[in-house]
Amino acid sequence: PDVILVGEMRDRETVEIGLSAAETGHLVMTTLHTIDAAATINRIIGMFKLEEENLIRIRLADSLRWVVSQRLLPKVGGGRAAAFEIMGTNLRVEEAVIHGETEDKTFYDMIVKAKPFGWITFDDYILELYKQGDVTEKTALDYASKRAEVKRGIDQIKAFRGEKTTDIEGLEIDDTYRERIRRKDRDMQTPG
């Protein structure tokens, strides 16, 4: 067969069989219960002994083509909305699989940079669901990978719609503080 579907890679032996099939030219599709693309790669590598890790990293980097992750979010009005994270492979991803992620080279960052090529983070997908009205702000934030990024995105969407981006109202500058600022401005303008 040209295509092999493995129900789920639960153990080392199944991963080994899948990798061997991929290395001989078969398209292998499988599932794994993880939270995102990075966790998928780390789970596969983690199924092997430490002394096998380097070889498995190289084999995986050579065989991996796409990682598609899915989360089901509560939908406005009932039901579920699927959110996806999609990561392909390129030289940066292969290097990160072989050598591991670093602080400045994470799979998340690689996905962000490859958005023009059809890659997408959960956060960007969740923001689209929010923008379309499929999920609430709370749901979007609860399921975010990087909550601060999603919060910023939600604020941008709200601002574009003309909605408030904060609940803070009625803030005023204290008169004493205002007077200190005026004096400081005058002092800076006075030569001398």
Residue 70 sits at the vertex; the CA angle it makes with 47 and 24, to the nearest 5 degrees, is: 50
How far is residue 70 CA from its own chain's centroid? 11
CATH of domain 32-179: 3.40.50.300
Q: Tell me, what's the pLDDT at 175? A: 80
pLDDT tens-digit readout, 105-143: 999 999 999 999 999 999 999 999 999 999 999 999 999
Rounded Cα distance between 79 and 139, Å, is 13
Q: How high is the pLDDT of residue 192?
A: 60
Strand extents, DSSP E, the chain? 3-6, 27-30, 67-74, 80-87
Contact 44, 20 (CB under 8 A): no
pTM above 0.85, yes or no: no
Structure tokens at 115: 């958005």
Q: Which residues in the chain show pLDDT less than 50?
A: none
